[in-house]
A and B are shown apart, each in its own frame.
Chain A
Amino acid sequence: MKYLSNLTRPEGDPKILATGPSAVPGPDRLAKGLGWFSIGLGVTQLLAPQLLTRTLGLRGREGLMRVFGAREIASGMLTLSTEKQAGMTSRVVGDLLDLAVLGAALGSHNRKRDNAGVALAMTAGLTLIDIAVRKALADTHGRRGRPRDYADRSGFPSKPHGSQQSRLDGPKPEGNKPEGGSGGGKPHEPKAHDSRPHDVKPDNAKPEGSGSTGSGGSGGVKTSQGSNSPSSANSTPGSGPASVSGQGGAKAGGAAQEAGPSGGPISLQEPPAATSR
């Protein structure tokens, strides 16, 4: 009963015996929870605005409450999608609108101002959570560092021939046989012709110049990098040790770790100048 999905498998197809750990990052899970919270609150605001306006002393503002409900639902949907960061940003903006309305409800004319005060405090707390989750999502999913240089990865072990050779040899006049082809069409020179048959070393390979031990056992991320740009890599967060296979003998500046006694993964410290992580 634990794995209901097994019921849908035809006889003979693999069925789940034990499930592995989830790789969904913590901020994603938090965002998912907040997304569902948004939808729940939004549906309440949309369908029962009087309930909220009575509680908060905002009678006569049911229309505004419905609009806010629609906004909450939209934010929730966005947060539950792959555009979590946009969803969380919209939640923060929505929080600020909520704070403004609740702040206005704190006046002495409102007999329910105590309720409004509690709501304001809760919203302020949620705003801080939203901002923190938004930042954590950006940290988890953002592109960082400089891009790697793959300039020596032509994919052509031998120099191409025929018409492509003439193209690779240098720029041609612009355009498809254009009249008056304008400038700016200078093809880039090919960076190199890769004569190395393999970009990737075996998992337990030891890059030249690499140093000492890894944790052995499973996994490890190995990135392969151009021979002209000594490789660099880090393991992804939470994953095993990283390993790097540089073409033509990768070397990493700084500390390097290689396979342990078990022949496990190689781990190299990424030089800051080349890192994107």
Chain B
Amino acid sequence: MRALVWHGKEDIRCDTVSDPEIQEPRDAIIKVTSCAICGSDLHLFHNLVPAMLPGDIMGHEAMGEVVEVGSGVGDSLKVGDRIVVPFTITCGECEQCRRGNFSVCERSNRRKDPAEKVFGHTTAGLFGYTHLTGGYPGGQAEYLRVPFADSTHVKVPDGLPDEQVLFLSDILPTGWQAAVQCDIEPDDTVAVWGCGPVGQMAIRSAILLGARQVIAIDYLPERLGMAEAAGAIAINRGEESVIERLNELTGGKGPDKCIDAVGTESHVDLSLPDTIMDRGMQLLMMENDRPHVLREIIYVCRPAGIVSIPGVYAGLVDKIPLGAAMNKGLTFRMGQTHVRRWTDDLMRRIAEGEIDPSFVITHTVGLEDGPEMYRVFRDKQDSCIKVVLKP
């Protein structure tokens, strides 16, 4: 089969690889009908997340048709079923899964040692996302092995096209969880940093959850335009001061709830010295992430506010004003997405026409064009916001 394979920093190729096989009784194999490039795939593209190895298959947003099931899958899945594959692999049986904390499943990471050494404890296995999270082959391929398939799937009802449900694999529940974590109240102002795919979903989620005012912050006009289409107020950080504008929009009080949908790779802006410092420190391996957005959020968030972090951070960060955060009484909520916790509700909302996540798709290409699209997406060329691959 063909698959997008990581060969090193900024080097992803469409390789011919052997087909995946059933390895465990609870496995299933799907024929991938649609998959997508995620913003967090760019962190791997840039080799910023440790423990990628040449030969790793990329991709954690995939869906398709079940073509083979293991003996232990039972009646929950059968050949021919159409499923979305959550990017977090979940056993469905461990204590964390039973609590609904699917992204910290205690059993699905098949390489727990490095995760326990780095994080202190293991987290869930993830598709195509380094050997810290199991080293599972990803879904940017023609076929995908789904471990714990009886638990790690979302069945797709008839009549819903791939484009509407594909993002249940990651970005829609990720944006949703980011908004839910904010405990949004009707009078709230929610500010969202980063209008990439997750930011767009967070904006719409905050609107659906009833925020009075949603503010979108980015520097790319096309992304801000897409945010405005949903009803958000746009702040172009290349043209105006984020802090001043947020204070202006909130009467000097700051947004009640702040969502960091940027994560580790904050835009380097010559007018913002800390972004240059972060880039330099990252180059010298003195910190892993560029946390400018977090600093800005801590500074501007309303006291007693909530900071929700769906953006991926990889490791160590420097110069976080924890004193300000502590004295302002901010609450921080973050984490990989507990995808299965949200998908039933979100599937219903999609089916009932409450939200159509396909709005975010800007490019659809074949798998063989995937390597080039990584670059286009990274360089923000052609107003690219979301790439869907059709294997």
Contact = CB atoms under 8 A, between A and B. Distances in A.
Interface string B169-211: 0000000000000000011110000000000100010011011
Nearest to A180: B251
Nearest to B252: A178
A174 B353 contact: no
B369 A15 contact: no
Interface in A191-225: 191-192, 194, 196-200, 203, 218-225
A262 interface: no
Interface stretch (B14-22, B89-97, B148-156, B331-339): B14-22
Q: Is the interface of B mostly helix, strand, loop or mixed?
A: mixed
7 contacts: A141-B381, A167-B211, A174-B251, A185-B233, A188-B232, A237-B372, A240-B368
Of the candidates B13, B248, B366, the one having the most CB atoms from chain A within 10 angstroms of its own CB is B366
B213 A220 contact: no
B123 to A, nearest CB: 19
Nearest to A6: B55
A175 B353 contact: no
Interface in A68-122: 77-78, 81-83
A12 to B, nearest CB: 4
Given A13-B137, A236-B372, A148 B222 contact: yes
Contact of A12 (B145, B354, B381): B145
Contacts of B373: 221, 236, 239
B17 A14 contact: yes
A61 interface: no
Interface stretch (A50-58, A128-136, A155-163, A250-258): A155-163
B253 interface: yes
Interface of B: 1-3, 5, 7, 9-23, 46, 53-57, 110, 135, 137, 141, 145, 161, 163-164, 186-189, 200, 204, 207-208, 210-214, 220-222, 225-226, 228-234, 245, 248-256, 268, 279, 283, 302, 353-369, 371-376, 379-385, 388, 390
Of the candidates A5, A22, A168, A200, the one having the most CB atoms from chain B within 10 angstroms of its own CB is A200
**For the side of the interface on A, what is the size category?**
35 or more
Nearest to B19: A14
Given A155-B360, A197-B358, A175 B368 contact: no
Given A190-B230, A236-B376, 8 more contacts: A14-B20, A20-B2, A82-B9, A141-B379, A150-B229, A155-B357, A185-B249, A239-B372
